[in-house]
């Protein structure tokens, strides 16, 4: 078992004030493989104090120097890429090759990308007789999930540091190793003490202590909608900024002029990525009622081609889920769908055999079909490899079904491009893939409705960590009377 026995606070590895430990499992074997400190409120206080003390100096550090620091961190992470991919494959369950390409190389490159944003960003601008400044918001608490651990940490910590903020990171205790590797990389890169701090522990203890702390100026949280409500509630007591990236129940709308085979393949590939453990997963596929049976047949064939296997082995397209808790939740939703009358096209709740054993947190790739868009399986986020196919009578009904959940994070539309774009404009969600268009790390990412608020990625994510300040200068020319009016 790999043991991380210290927290990273004020540029040093220090013993946790909390005396407990937390174990994380190997997703394919169910064996405990990682042990971390169970931090407490006193650890949060120490980390926030270090971040507060470091803030003024870091905020005053010129942007090019902050950018150089981000590049050094990217270089240090690149040197640890193999180790990062391995811990993601074992703790999260994504097959190793995918873990390297999707969960490691992309986030590592994003640290360098945020260096470019930092040095090119316009931190001040003359607007009439005002000088408008963009200044770092202060101490940022980052609370991150287990499903894409390095990516979600990167989308918060890198832009926050580049913007001139200082950070306290609370990663998920379910897949924690990446956060410790990042802290090692940051230390090796020579970031000033207190700019980055790491405290591990449980959400109701460490997460809530961060959210309520009076010296934390902003919370950036990614996780479930239920947990996001609690974070927002606690953080509201100190009127801090809160950015939330929450759950989703994204729809893939297949139009009548789409290539149906390509649309089904693309939707299932999106839905099953990371064994379905993605908030943006397109878990509902909406097809014309005249092509409902054809879509089911194609989906069965495609889903059954997803080989379930050891994430460290060869040939596996679908690894295990992250934990027994997650597996049991997904299996429970599959059983409930059957009980509610959904047609089981393929898959089901029986545990698959992997290497001749029913061991590990594996779930069979599963496809349902139902005509009830209000059913549990068509409304509730599953976070597993489960797709639901729904028919629609006309385009207006397709848009209504796509919009008829509390969520609005992702989605897709398949069809002739201009037609698809017209339909996409009517769907209330933060990101829509047109004919399988790839993820763009420079574009804004975030949700409508109960999928959260705020945006991550690119310059849009960078701006989340900045405040506006207006300096009202004495005008050169006399202003008209209405321009001199004082608001409020």
Half-sphere exposure of 104 (CA within 13 A, CB side): 26
If you search the block for the tokens 């001139």, which residue do you land on?
164
Structure tokens at 453: 């608020």
Q: Which residues pair with 475 in a beta bridge?
A: none
pLDDT at 487: 56
Orientation of helix 149-163 relative to helix 81-91, angle to 10° = 130
Residue 61 tokens read as 């550090």
* CA angle in degrees (0–180, nearest 5) for 295-307-102: 90
Sheet of 2-3, strand order: 2-3, 32-38, 20-25
Residue from 288, 293, 289, 299 nearest 266 by CA: 299
Return the DSSP state at 290: G
Q: What's the confidence (pLDDT) of residue 483?
A: 56
Cβ proximity of 294 and 260 under 8 Å? yes
Handedness of CA 312, 268, 260, 445 (dihedral sign): negative
Query: Which CATH number does 250-434 carry?
Result: 3.40.309.10
**The dihedral of CA 276, 279, 283, 286: what is its sign?**
negative
Give pLDDT, residue 308.
96
What is the C-alpha to C-alpha distance for residues 273 and 338, in angstroms, rounded to an integer?
A: 23
Structure-token pair, residue 197: 């701090």
Query: Which are the catalytic amino acids?
Result: 245, 279
User: What does the radius of gyration of the chain's CA atoms come to, in whole angstroms?
Assistant: 24
Domains 2-246+447-470 and 250-434 fall in the same CATH topology: no
| Cα–Cα distance for residue pair 102/105, rounded to 1 Å | 6
Residue 424's pLDDT is 98
Q: What is the CATH number of domain 2-246+447-470?
A: 3.40.605.10
CA–CA gap between residue 204 and residue 222 (Å, rounded):
15
What is 330-389 written as a DSSP string? HHHHHHHHHHTT-EEEE--SSPPPBTTB--SS----EEEE-S-TTSHHHHS---SSEEEE
Which stretches of the chain drop beneath a pLDDT of 70? 477-488
Domain spans in the chain, listed from the N-terminal domain onward: 2-246+447-470, 250-434
């Amino acid at each position: 078992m790999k043991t991380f026995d210290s927290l990273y606070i004020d540029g040093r590895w220090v013993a946790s004030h909390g005396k407990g430990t937390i174990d994380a499992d190997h997703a394919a074997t169910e064996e405990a493989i990682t042990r971390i400190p169970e931090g407490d409120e006193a650890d949060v206080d120490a980390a926030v104090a270090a971040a507060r003390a470091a803030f003024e100096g870091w905020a005053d550090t010129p942007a090019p120097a902050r950018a150089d620091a981000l590049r050094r961190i990217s270089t240090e992470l690149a040197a640890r890429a193999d180790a990062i991919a391995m811990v993601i494959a074992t703790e999260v369950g994504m097959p190793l090759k995918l873990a390297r390409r999707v969960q490691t190389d992309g986030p590592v490159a994003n640290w360098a990308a945020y260096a470019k944003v930092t040095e090119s960003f316009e931190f001040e601008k003359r607007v009439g007789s005002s000088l408008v400044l963009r200044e770092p918001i202060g101490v940022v608490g980052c609370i991150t999930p287990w499903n894409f651990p390095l990516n979600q940490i990167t989308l918060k910590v890198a832009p926050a540091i580049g913007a001139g903020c200082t950070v306290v990171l609370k990663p998920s205790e379910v897949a924690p190793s990446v956060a410790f590797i990042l802290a090692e990389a940051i230390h090796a890169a020579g970031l000033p003490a207190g700019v980055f701090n790491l405290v591990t522990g449980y959400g109701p203890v460490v997460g809530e202590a961060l959210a309520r702390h009076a010296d934390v100026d902003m919370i950036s949280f990614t996780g479930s909608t239920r947990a996001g409500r609690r974070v927002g509630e606690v953080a509201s007591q100190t009127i801090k900024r809160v950015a939330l990236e929450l759950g989703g129940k994204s729809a893939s709308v297949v139009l009548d002029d789409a290539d149906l085979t390509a649309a089904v393949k693309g939707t299932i590939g999106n839905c099953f990525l990371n064994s379905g453990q993605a908030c943006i997963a397109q878990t509902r596929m909406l097809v014309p009622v005249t092509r409902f049976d054809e879509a089911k047949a194609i989906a069965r064939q495609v889903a059954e081609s997803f080989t379930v296997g050891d994430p460290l082995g060869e040939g596996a397209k679908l690894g295990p889920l992250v934990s027994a808790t997650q597996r049991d939740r997904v299996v429970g939703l599959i059983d409930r769908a059957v009980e509610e009358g959904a047609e089981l096209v393929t898959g089901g709740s029986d545990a698959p055999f992997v290497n001749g054993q029913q061991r590990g947190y594996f779930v069979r790739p599963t496809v349902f079909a139902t005509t009830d868009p209000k059913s549990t399986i068509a409304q509730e986020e599953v976070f597993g490899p489960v797709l639901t196919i729904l028919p629609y009578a006309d385009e207006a009904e397709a848009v209504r079904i796509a919009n008829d959940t509390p969520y609005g994070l992702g989605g897709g539309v398949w069809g002739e491009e201009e037609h698809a774009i017209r339909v996409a404009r009517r769907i209330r969600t933060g990101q829509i893939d047109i004919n399988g268009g790839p993820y763009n790390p420079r574009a804004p990412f975030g949700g409508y409705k109960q999928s959260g608020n705020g945006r991550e990625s690119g310059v849009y994510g960078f701006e989340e960590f900045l405040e506006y300040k207006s300096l009202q200068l004495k005008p050169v020319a006399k202003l008209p009377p209405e321009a001199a009016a004082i608001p409020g």
